[in-house]
Chains A and B, each alone.
Chain A
Amino acid sequence: MAAKIVNRGLLRIGQQASQSTNYNVARYIRTMSVDDGTAAFAAAHTALNSGGAITNEYDQAFDATPTEASQTITHVCTIPTGQGNFTIRRIALHDDTAANVTTSSATLVAGVDGQSIGKTADFSLQITLTITYADAS
């Protein structure tokens, strides 16, 4: 299992924070996806299918504006009963609207792989992804 912020995600975070050359007001972390891909996320990945084709994928906007505490940003997404009903193997964050996120869109910021979450229409699934920015020196 890997929980990874990919290189383009790190760059996006830097761009947005510093408003550098490719800063884009609309390209902030705003969508969460689930899919059944079995490839591990790698630093060079830019899209969900960078490591191989995806059969099932679902994405949506966060439930609310992400919250912050200390240096941790919390993103929450509740997948309704009628969506995401497959074996969820990966969860990811994207820097574009849900309408623009696809399995091949260059929107990948971060992801967790190697999961096996079975979901059916009996349940909704509330997923929380946090990013902590810490001084590790």
Chain B
Amino acid sequence: MRSEHRTNLDCTLHASAVVKLETEISMDEAQRKLESLGNQIIERDDEARVFKILDTVEHPSEVWWVCDFCGAASLSEQVILEHEAKEHGG
């Protein structure tokens, strides 16, 4: 059994966000306020008066599992393992 990507085009969406302070609030006070709102501070730039609060992580493309004997494919590794055992004796 082998695994492979079955498509060659991968459209990946990535999101990031920074908060910019627009009032006279201090950076320390702003950080406390942002954290009290549930935000996770990823980066803090005192000079620019911004906080990075979002930076999503890319996920790998879908991996297809392929039968070594006949080329049958599935997104489930277990399905192909069972297929190989049942149809090809291992």
Contact = CB atoms under 8 A, between A and B. Distances in A.
Interface string B26-46: 000010011011110000000
Given A118-B37, A122-B21, A122-B30, A135 B10 contact: yes
Indicate the member of B50, B54, B59, B61 with the most A CB atoms within 10 Å: B54
Contacts of B39: 116-118
B22 A129 contact: no
Interface string A100-121: 0000000000111001111110
Q: How large is the interface on B (under 10, 10 to 19, 20 to 34, 35 or more residues)?
A: 20 to 34
A126 B36 CA distance: 20
A10 interface: yes
Interface residues of A, number: 35
Interface in B46-90: 50, 53-54, 56, 58-59, 61
Interface string A3-34: 11100001001000000000000000000000
Contacts of B7: 136-137
Contacts of A1: 56
B56 to A, nearest CB: 6
A18 B19 CA distance: 38
Central interface residue in B13, B18, B22, B25, by most chain A CB within 10 Å: B13
B2 interface: no
Given A122-B22, A122-B30, A129 B13 contact: yes
A122 B33 contact: yes
A131 B54 CA distance: 16
B8 A112 contact: no
A116 to B, nearest CB: 5
Nearest to B58: A3
Interface of A: 1, 3-5, 10, 13, 78, 81, 87, 91, 110-112, 115-120, 122-137
Closest 4 A/B residue pairs (Cβ) = A118-B37, A136-B10, A137-B8, A3-B13
15 contacts: A5-B13, A13-B11, A110-B13, A115-B54, A117-B53, A118-B34, A123-B19, A123-B30, A124-B20, A124-B22, A132-B14, A133-B9, A133-B11, A134-B9, A137-B7
